[in-house]
Amino acid sequence: ESKRTHQPPPYPILASLANLKYLDISSCDDLLSLSEDGLQNLASLETLNIKFCPRMASLPEQGLRGLTSLVSLKISDCESLASLSGMRYLTALQNLHLARCEKMHILEDDMDGLTSLRTLEIEKIPNLVSIPKGLQNATALKEFSIIDCESLLHAFPEGISLPTTLEKLWIGNCFSLMSWPNGLGNLTSLVDLWITCSRNLQSLPEEMRHLTALKDLTIGGWDGLKTLPEWLKSFTSLRFLQIYNFPDLLCVRLDPLPHCTSSTADLLL
């Protein structure tokens, strides 16, 4: 099979598969790259998954140009992959998932063409330091999660506000974060927020008080925080609340919602 070969498969193999919609390449230990000429002819491809290809160092930029129908791109466990380029060509892309690519330290600043992007998931990219400013054009983005990226300085492009279309935002265990993303308080459609520790951020962002549509909230991981902010009681739509890893937290005050008649309760931790 072509995916067992040590070099990129001859491009006529992929070039002849004009109706291919799904391509999964996994556990190809010696694969160095994909054929640029072959990818250019996959205009019908909707899903591309690449995983456990430890020697793959890059994706062919010009090859991505031909993937005009690509909706989902998932890349994981490719430890030699240092960067991504050519993403601007993926104008139909809706879902992008990147995970466990140890050498990746930057996402090329050519993502301004991702106007259809709805879901962006970045997980365990330990050397990633920034998110490209081109994502400011991702005006359809509804779900954004960035987890376990310990070198990341800013959870969203510095100086760029989060898209107000966001419904889900997860920021967790990015220990080098210097600031919360701009525009957090403007996310009036946000229903799911998961936000945990950074060495440089020792408190919950004040802008959270405006997220009154929240239904699911998970917070945790700050030393020195003894009480939760009073404005948490304004989250009257909340259905699920998880609070964890606050070693100095003394008290959680549970005031009733405006429509409740029960007395105020204190929960001591």
Both tokens of 31, joined, read 């694969």
pLDDT one-digit tens code per residue, 92-108? 999 999 999 999 887 76
Residue 261 has pLDDT above 50, yes or no: no
- pLDDT value of position 3: 44
- How would you class 239 by CB atoms within 10 Å of its CB: exposed for 0-12, middle for 13-18, buried for 19 or more? exposed
Encode 161-170: b = buried (16+ Cβ within 10 Å), e = exposed: ebbeebbbbb
Identify the structural domains of the chain with CATH numbers, from first to last: 128-269 (3.80.10.10)
Residue 171 has pLDDT above 70, yes or no: yes
Residue 44 has pLDDT above 90, yes or no: yes
Residue 235 has pLDDT above 70, yes or no: yes
Residue 224 has pLDDT above 80, yes or no: no
Residue 109 has pLDDT above 70, yes or no: no
d(CA 78, CA 178): 28
pTM of the model: 0.85
